[in-house]
Structure 1
Amino acid sequence: MARSAAQNLTAGGRLANTKRLVLWSVVLVQVCFIACIWLLQSNHNQLQLQSTSNKNRLELDVGRVHFVQQARQAKKSLASSHCQRSENINRYQQDFFQMKIDRMNRSADYAMPAYMDMDLAPTLWCYSEGTLNESRQGRNSVDYLLAQPQCLCASGWHGRDCGQPEIIWRALMTHSRASKRGGNEAPLKLHEASSTSLKRLYYILNLGAWEHINMELLELQLRTLIKVVDIFLIYYYVRDSKDRLKRRTLERQLDAIPIPSYLLYQCEGGQNPGNCSGAATYSYFRHQLWARCGVQMQPTDLLLYGNGGTVYAPAALKYLKYFATDVLPLRFRVKHNVYGFYWQHPQLARLDGVISSLVHLHNAQLDPQRLERQATYTLGDLNHFGGWSCELCMPPEQIVQMLTAKETGNSPHIRMPNETRSSRIDADYIQQLIGAGILLDGHTTLQRLRQQSEKYYAPPTALLYSSQFGQFLVNLYDTNTLDDVQEDED
């Protein structure tokens, strides 16, 4: 019986072990099954993540290409508007240089001041155009015990930094005497030039009717002020509102110069060019500067308004940009030339154009033409001109076309070649007047000018590019002048 009980106990133990083995096997199978499911799910997630990454990368590449295309389109649009390809507002480093004290230039009688040895001397910036060459002997031979160092000015330049041209210096003296006598306000409020107090100069250039534009004179105007004016605002008027070819022709010529930045306005004045008023053109340019160029005019910025026949002196304009905080409306007394810079009108000079701080334009109802009429101060005198007015400086054929046009009712009295009814003005007759120095009225005699004896014979740009602007410098219809030129070349 005891043996039977032992056998039953052994059989029960085996059964229990078998049950445990089966249970552990089931658990192991479940764990393996769960592991397989987890691996499959992990692999699926990895494939999905890789697919999403590729898709995002593709979208990013597409977006990048789209961004580049937008940038190129914006660049193309900017180029078509001719805005801010470069500006002259920040040319301080090019126009001024820092004066260097020569430490070897010591006197044997006394030592340099302590502030010079300790590098405590105030920084002095000299205006490059008005200062003699840095390497010139005696430049730094200054008695430092008695005076601070100063720039060595060239002839016709004034001020501690040699930035004040003769025309400005004389204008300031004239207005100073007038203000002391009458108590009038000074036309200029000045400060020391610095790289932090900069302003823009806008030039509204009224070319008049398209038929009367002289492209060579226009190029001379632009090249003369190409390093002074920040944005040229050029407009003219046409009679045919559907004519777009003129605008494209002028744009190609302007791009060939090239000028820094400009806006072009073709005013469709119809039969009455007076419809293109100064207020309307200023409003148009102001809106276009903001809409197409992103430029906001500031009250301290300068506005120059002139016509297609006047070349303004760049030295005076650059001085106003650097040294003037407020400019009351100033008219320019310019040299009155006729046919070219070789003939001068008996009146010698004329008032033309205006420059002012933009804040004063509100007093003229935002009309530059009204601002010119209201200006009471002048810049320049009979010995130092603020520019050159070149009346009838165009080919004889273009003068004939201008005289025969219907819109020239305000032209001066014209004398016909003879008293016959069949008499008419042609290019040969105009050439005779130019060669002899006779005005179109037939009796006013012009004064002959020679480059060798005239300080302000012509704009420096015309003299620098004499081969390009020779028709303004030499009378091509005067045999005596041509003989003199031939002798000089020989």
Structure 2
Amino acid sequence: MRLRVLDGRWLSLLVLLAGQVVFTVYYVVVVAPLKPPLAPRPLDPGVNFVETPLTNVSTGHRPLSPPIPLSLFQLDRRKFFLGLNSSDCFLPGTELDFSKRIGRCQCQQGWHGQDCGLPEVILRAFMTAKYTEPPKLRRQPRRVICIIKWSSDTLTEILLSELEVVVDLFILDRKPDAKINKEKVLVLKSTDWAFIKTQLADLRYDDLVLSVADSEIPNPKALLFLKFYNGWPYEPITFRMRWSVFGFFWLHPQLTVLAGRVCSVGTLARNFKDNLKLMRASNEVLVVGDLNHFGGWKCQLCMDSAEDILREAQASKDKSWNLDGRRLDAEYVSDLVGQGLWMDGKMQLLRASPSREQDYFAPATVRNGNFGHLLHNFYEMNTY
């Protein structure tokens, strides 16, 4: 009788175990896959990371062997600051001689803050956005990677020269003939960011990616602030640029245009899936620049000759020019430039004033370099 009781207990135990096994298998195979996957943990800005050199899925390209370390291009922070007593003065915005005499940071006109690191154009952007948090100086400056859409060697030379002090690496999809510091230029067969990431080592999530055409020159003062300081309301950031046509001597009637975009590597990955087109199309942006303090310069159709303007116009997809069915040759383009007419032959451009606009008339590289054809209208009959 005792043996039968034990056999019954063992049988019950075996039935329970078998039931648990069946339930577990059913849960794993049927129920569990129906649960939605956990959302990915958001990226924390400022985290250091190194890109894994794997084949890029969207392009099929393999990285350079080995990937180029960005640390080779990083600027030395000490070259931008002067220590005075217990303060560090930001050199681009500091009246150096006077500051040394008084023992503290004295800002140049158009610069603000205790260390003179806040340019007027950024201050006004913060005021417009009603952002009141004080900026904080970074211990390690961000690297700025500038991706350029090429159209002209002259414009590329101007852009690279104007931003050389702040940009750590320029990326183009063709080798420019311009006179530039080629040590900071990387020529790749694609300017797709998902591909570019595979070519660079030691990227950081708070490094900055700047996407521009070579006709779009962001204000380097604004980029210096973004490079050395933490604290702005949101990103991406775009620039309200002075809108020139044919040269800096003519202004578009709208005066300004929003152009160029910059955001952090982390935001580009998290919010835009590493897609520069999505980043450039975003409407939620911080605008740097206004009608009195430009966030940069847009010089549309600013070419070396009427023939170059003609080629650019013929290749353009801008339907507002209404070029269909009209005579279009170098002589016609020369007349447009001389008279200050838009490509439609109707809209009158505005004459710019170098004396009134001063530093905002054109980038320093143009004002101080050999770019007279972009400063003076050689096609205007009454000029010479």
Scaled by the length of structure 2, the TM-score of the pair is 0.75
1:151 aligned residue: 105
Q: Residue 398 of structure 1 is aligned with which of 308, 317, 323?
A: 308
The 3-state SS of whatever aligns with 2:225 is: helix
Change (3 A) 1:263 1:301: same
- Alpha-carbon offset, residue 296 of structure 1: 2.4
Instruction: Answer yes or no: is 1:458 the counterpart of 2:366.
Output: no
Q: Residues 414-435 of structure 1: CA distance to partner in whole angstroms, max 9, x if unpaired?
A: 368xxxx8x6211111111101
1:192 aligned residue: 137
Higher relative contact order (CA 8 A, sep 6+): 2
CA distance in 2, matches of 1:435, 1:403: 17
* Bigger helix fraction: 1
CA distance in 1, matches of 2:186, 2:99: 47
Q: Residue 428 of structure 1 is aligned with which of 323, 327, 331?
A: 331
CA distance in 1, matches of 2:96, 2:69: 36
- Unaligned stretches of 5+ in structure 2? 1-63
Q: Residue 338 of structure 1 is aligned with which of 236, 239, 245?
A: 245
CA distance in 1, matches of 2:320, 2:249: 21
CA distance in 1, matches of 2:120, 2:128: 12
1:205 aligned residue: 148
Structure having the higher Rg: 1
Q: Residues 34-79 of structure 1: CA distance to partner in whole angstroms, max 9, x if unpaired?
A: xxxxxxxxxxxxxxxxxxxxxxxxxxxxxxxxxxxxxxxxxxxx9x
Instruction: Answer yes or no: is 1:224 the counterpart of 2:162.
Output: yes
CA distance in 2, matches of 1:217, 1:433: 20
The 3-state SS of whatever aligns with 2:260 is: strand
The 3-state SS of whatever aligns with 2:320 is: coil
CA distance in 2, matches of 1:137, 1:150: 5
2:294 aligned residue: 385
Give the letter for the 1:348 counterpart. Answer: L
1:311 aligned residue: 217
CA distance in 2, matches of 1:338, 1:325: 35
Give the letter for the 2:248 counterpart. Answer: F
CA contact (8 A) 2:67 2:198 kept: no
Q: Residue 169 of structure 1 is aligned with which of 111, 115, 123?
A: 123
CA distance in 1, matches of 2:155, 2:99: 41
Give the letter for the 1:312 counterpart. Answer: P
CA distance in 2, matches of 1:368, 1:345: 27
Aligned residues with identical type, % of pairs: 32
Scaled by the length of structure 1, the TM-score of the pair is 0.60
Instruction: Answer yes or no: is 1:442 the counterpart of 2:352.
Output: no
2:7 aligned residue: none
2:321 aligned residue: 413
CA contact (8 A) 1:415 1:441 kept: yes
Q: Residues 57-115 of structure 1: CA distance to partner in whole angstroms, max 9, x if unpaired?
A: xxxxxxxxxxxxxxxxxxxxx9x99876952x333221111125xxxxxxxxxxxxxxx
1:94 aligned residue: 79
Task: Say what the alpha-carbon RMSD is for the aligned residues.
Answer: 2.7
Q: Residues 146-180 of structure 1: CA distance to partner in whole angstroms, max 9, x if unpaired?
A: xxx6411111110011111110111111112xx6x
CA contact (8 A) 1:82 1:263 kept: no
Q: Residues 328-367 of structure 1: CA distance to partner in whole angstroms, max 9, x if unpaired?
A: 2111111111001111111010111111122111211211
CA distance in 1, matches of 2:76, 2:349: 41
Q: Residue 215 of structure 1 is aligned with which of 148, 153, 159?
A: 153
CA contact (8 A) 1:95 1:129 kept: yes
Q: Which runs of 4+ in 1 moved over 6 A?
A: 80-85
CA distance in 2, matches of 1:336, 1:124: 39
Change (3 A) 1:439 1:171: same
- Alpha-carbon offset, residue 397 of structure 1: 0.6
- Unaligned stretches of 5+ in structure 1? 1-77, 101-122, 141-148, 180-185, 208-212, 236-246, 268-277, 290-294, 484-490
Instruction: Answer yes or no: is 1:160 the counterpart of 2:114.
Output: yes
